[in-house]
Structure formats: C-alpha cells, structure tokens
C-alpha cells in the first residue's frame, strides 16, 4: 500500500455535497415488477438499487460535474466527504509525497468577472454564503 496526496488550490465556493448529489432508487435489472416489491419471486434477486445522481442544475459533461461553465471539484475517493467546491479557478499541485515541487497558474484578467458571475449564479440558487467563498488549499489523501 502506498500513500498518495493530491493537493489543490481553489478559488471558489465551498458547498455541501448534498446540494449536488441525490440518491435515487432505480431498477437493479430490467423487470416490470411493482415498486412495492423488493425481491424477484423467481430469482430471489433484489429488484431495486440505490444510485447516486447529479441534481439539476448541475450536469455531468465528459466525466466532470459543472454548473454553467464552473467546474465542481469533488476531492473524495469515497462519497462520505461533506463538502465540494464550485471553482472559479483551480489548480492541482504535484503529488507532494513522491516528488515535491510547486505549480503556478497565472490569474486571468477576467477573474473578478468570473467571481461575480459565480456569486450571482449561486445567489439565484440559494447556495451563496460569503463565509464559504475564498482561496481553499486542500488535498485528497489515499493510502
């Protein structure tokens, strides 16, 4: 077993994961059994399973979750982390345990405009909390 550390710097809004994901009950396989039945009477298989889905207005595009043009940074390997981030700007640093070093990303001239658009959009959705916006330095660690 080895240690892996994925550091991130994010300029954005920290929000509860529950604002992005929801759990739905879906068919475990193709069947036409009533919703109140739990087990297939012929095979004994469970008829229904839980599936984690992205809630609108968030969407999944090419393996990334986005809100408008803002990428969602979800640093969890498991789905038990409480928070994720709506990023106006984000950078993933080098793995500090294997090679050290630093990464730099130039700040775009439009950063103020991006932040204002993020604030406006998340305010409309009831997600904006000024105390949850800022520069977040965080990491995902796995063993």
Quote the pLDDT of residue 141: 76
pLDDT greater than 60 at residue 79: no
Show me where the domains of the chain are located.
4-14+57-142, 21-54
SS (H, E, C) 24-56: EEEECCCCCCCCCCCECCCCCCECEEEEEEECC
Q: How far apart are CA 48 and CA 38, in angstroms?
A: 7
**pLDDT band for position 77 (cuts 50, 70, 90):** low
pLDDT at 5 over 60: yes
pTM exceeds 0.85 for this model: no
Asked if pLDDT for residue 104 goes beyond 80, the answer is no
Q: Is the pLDDT of residue 97 over 50?
A: no
Give residue-wise pLDDT tens across range 27-67.
999 999 999 999 999 999 999 999 989 999 999 999 899 99
Residue 113: both structure tokens together: 């405009």
């Amino acid at each position: 077993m080895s240690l892996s550390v994925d550091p991130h710097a994010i300029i954005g809004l920290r929000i509860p994961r529950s604002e992005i994901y929801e759990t739905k009950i879906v068919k475990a396989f193709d069947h036409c059994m009533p919703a109140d039945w739990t087990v297939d009477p012929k095979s004994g298989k469970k008829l229904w399973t839980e599936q984690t889905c992205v809630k609108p207005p968030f969407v999944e595009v090419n393996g990334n979750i986005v809100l408008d043009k803002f990428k969602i940074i979800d640093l969890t390997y498991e789905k038990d982390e409480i928070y994720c981030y709506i990023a106006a700007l984000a950078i993933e640093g080098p793995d500090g345990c294997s090679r050290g070093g630093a990464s730099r990303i130039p700040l775009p001239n439009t950063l103020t405009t991006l932040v204002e658009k993020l604030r406006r959009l998340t305010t409309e959705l009831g997600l904006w909390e000024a105390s949850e916006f800022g520069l977040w330095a965080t990491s995902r660690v796995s063993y």
